[in-house]
Structure 1
């Protein structure tokens, strides 16, 4: 009978240890999701980012965007970039607004703006 109790206790300890180790793996998995956005800690905009931004911008009548900070990147079939930007309009006395500009760069190096969303 004592051996059976010891066996059951050992079995329960092993199950508890396994369940705790699997839970810690779950939290790591949530931090890095395949295809998810990755925050850029320092937000530095490099010359390469500026070139990409200017290539994607092309010509937009009446609006211009000035990148302030690189917020996030996302690996897809190419790369997505999210920039915090000042949006300038050509209208007189119009205030600049802050927007988030998302740019997609394909595998051939072509770039385009996919969204411009005002910050709140």
Structure 2
């Protein structure tokens, strides 16, 4: 693991676990879309009041303009195990 500024830890391996998949599912419940997200890389974590996760996902956008996008979700899991989507950054390719 590598630490960078702001206390963010970058893992040696970006491997996704079942816990990470559950975090993405829980965080996406607040979104008002029907797209499907597949997490495939853990980019980093940060210990705060709980823990922040940066998870890279492939998102299949459904609807009339079906497309695939890469999205980084910044997710917080607080000390009460509540999951919140803090930020979503889309990369078009």
TM-score of Structure 1 vs Structure 2, range by shorter chain: 0.7 to 0.9
- Find 1:56's aligned residue among 27, 38, 45: 27
Secondary structure in 2 matching 1:96? strand
Is 1:105 matched up with 2:77? Answer: yes
Change (3 A) 1:36 1:63: same
The CA RMSD over aligned residues, in Å, is 2.1
TM-score normalised by the chain length of structure 1: 0.65
**2:4 touches 2:10 (CA, 8 Å); kept in 1?**
no
In structure 1, the residue matched to 2:50 is: 78
TM-score between the two structures when normalised by the length of structure 2: 0.81
Among 14, 38, 49, the residue aligned to 1:66: 38
Rg larger in 1 or in 2? 1
Higher relative contact order (CA 8 A, sep 6+): 2
> May I ask how many residue pairs the two structures share in their alignment?
90
1:41 and 1:34 map into 2 onto residues whose CA distance is 17
TM-superposition CA deviations, 1:64-87 (whole Å, max 9, x none): 321111110000011000011112
In 1, Cα distance between equivalents of 2:59 and 2:73: 10
Could you tell me how far apart the structure 1 residues matched to 2:4 and 2:67 are? 38
CA distance in 1, matches of 2:4, 2:71: 25
The structure in which a higher percent of residues are helix is: 1
After TM superposition, the structure 1 = structure 2 runs for residues 1-120 of structure 1, keeping only pairs within 5 Å, are 32=3, 35-58=6-29, 60=31, 61-92=33-64, 94-119=66-91
Secondary structure, counterpart of 1:49 in structure 2: helix
